[in-house]
């Protein structure tokens, strides 16, 4: 590492070989010195899971250059960030970017997302962090249209920083660059998954299940991430890891807890 440019930690949940992270590495290498620590296999929908009951392995990938160093990790996206900060990097990076995820992490999906949990873990460590996602689940999704926006958003965060405890959740519509109307700062839409389970039987007669379901957006607001994406904008939602429901404290203090 040359040490004269920002140090940027890159991770994801689709695995170190996913096209999304390869596109992200390409963009970040234009901005700073890149350290990649990403899962050695897909880890989608892992949320904030960490590995505590089995061993973790790090493997340095031979694509090491003056500005890019890569590792694959046997653990979860959050494990990747923890290992990067505590075992690989000599100092905290100037920025952590996670993604580019193959598929949406808007609205309630942020709760389940390994991509965003990696970014949140970086935020817990005091590192400015961004999770990037493209609304295209195809493994061969085209990331070219959003590279300039990824770079712009990352440079803004590097220049301005982020409020303490805040991480950016960035989602891109599946559009050509010329058709993207711009960037909107949004709130998380009130939406949910209506789950269904496809029940089947093994040849031995044992029941098993496949999770299915339908995404339902109950939020009609025009200031949400879902509205922005439906209307050809990039959504940027500031999220936080402090889950305290502050608006409920006064109400709960009126209950007869100690009588």
Tell me, what's the pLDDT at 1? Answer: 41
Does pLDDT of 2 surpass 60?
no
What are the structural domain ranges in the chain? 7-195+222-253
Does pLDDT of 101 surpass 60?
yes
Architecture of the domain delimited by 7-195+222-253: 3-Layer(aba) Sandwich (3.40)
Tell me, what's the pLDDT at 58? Answer: 95
Mean pLDDT confidence for 10-36? 96
The pLDDT-based confidence of 206 (bands split at 50, 70, 90) is: very high
pTM of the predicted structure, to 2 decimals: 0.92
Mean pLDDT confidence for 214-238? 94
Does pLDDT of 213 surpass 90?
no
Does pLDDT of 179 surpass 90?
yes
Does pLDDT of 98 surpass 90?
yes
Does pLDDT of 20 surpass 90?
yes
Tell me, what's the pLDDT at 63? Answer: 64
Q: How far is CA 138 from CA 46, 52, 113, 149, 231, in A?
A: 19, 32, 17, 20, 21
Does pLDDT of 253 surpass 70?
yes
Percent residues over pLDDT 90 in the chain: 86
Instruction: For the chain, give the DSSP string.
Output: --SSS-EEEEE-SS-TT-HHHHHHHHHHHTTSEEEEEEESS--TT-TT----SS---EEEES---SSEEEEEESS-HHHHHHHIIIII-SS--SEEEEEEEES---TTHHHH-HHHHHHHHHHHTT--EEEEEES---TT---GGGHHHHHHHHHHHHHH---TTEEEEEEE-S--GGG--EEEE-BPP-EEEEEEEEEEE-TTS-EEEEEEEEEEE----TTBHHHHHHTTEEEEEEEES----GGGHHHHHTS-TT-
């Amino acid at each position: 590492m040359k040490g004269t440019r920002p140090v940027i930690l890159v991770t994801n949940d689709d695995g170190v070989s996913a096209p999304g992270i390869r596109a992200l590495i390409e963009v970040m290498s234009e901005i700073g010195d890149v350290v990649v620590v990403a899962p050695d296999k897909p880890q989608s929908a892992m949320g904030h899971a960490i590995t505590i009951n089995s061993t973790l392995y790090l493997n340095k990938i031979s694509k090491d250059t003056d500005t890019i160093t890569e590792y694959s990790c046997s653990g979860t996206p959050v494990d990747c960030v923890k290992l990067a900060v505590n075992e690989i990097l000599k100092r905290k990076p100037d920025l952590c970017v996670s993604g580019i995820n193959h598929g949406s992490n808007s609205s309630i999906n942020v709760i389940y997302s390994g991509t965003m949990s990696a970014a949140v873990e970086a935020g817990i460590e005091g590192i400015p962090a961004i999770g990037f996602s493209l609304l295209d689940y195809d493994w061969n999704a085209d990331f070219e249209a959003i590279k300039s926006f990824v770079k712009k958003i990352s440079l803004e965060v590097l220049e301005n920083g982020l409020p303490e405890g805040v991480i950016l959740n960035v989602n891109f519509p599946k559009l050509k660059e010329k058709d993207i109307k711009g960037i909107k700062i949004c709130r998380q839409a009130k939406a949910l998954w209506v789950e269904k389970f496809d029940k089947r039987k093994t040849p031995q007669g044992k029941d098993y299940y496949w999770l299915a379901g339908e995404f339902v957006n109950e939020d009609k607001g025009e200031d949400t991430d879902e509205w922005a994406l439906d209307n050809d904008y990039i959504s940027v939602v500031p999220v936080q890891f402090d889950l305290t429901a502050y608006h409920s404290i006064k109400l709960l203090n009126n209950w007869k807890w100690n009588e």
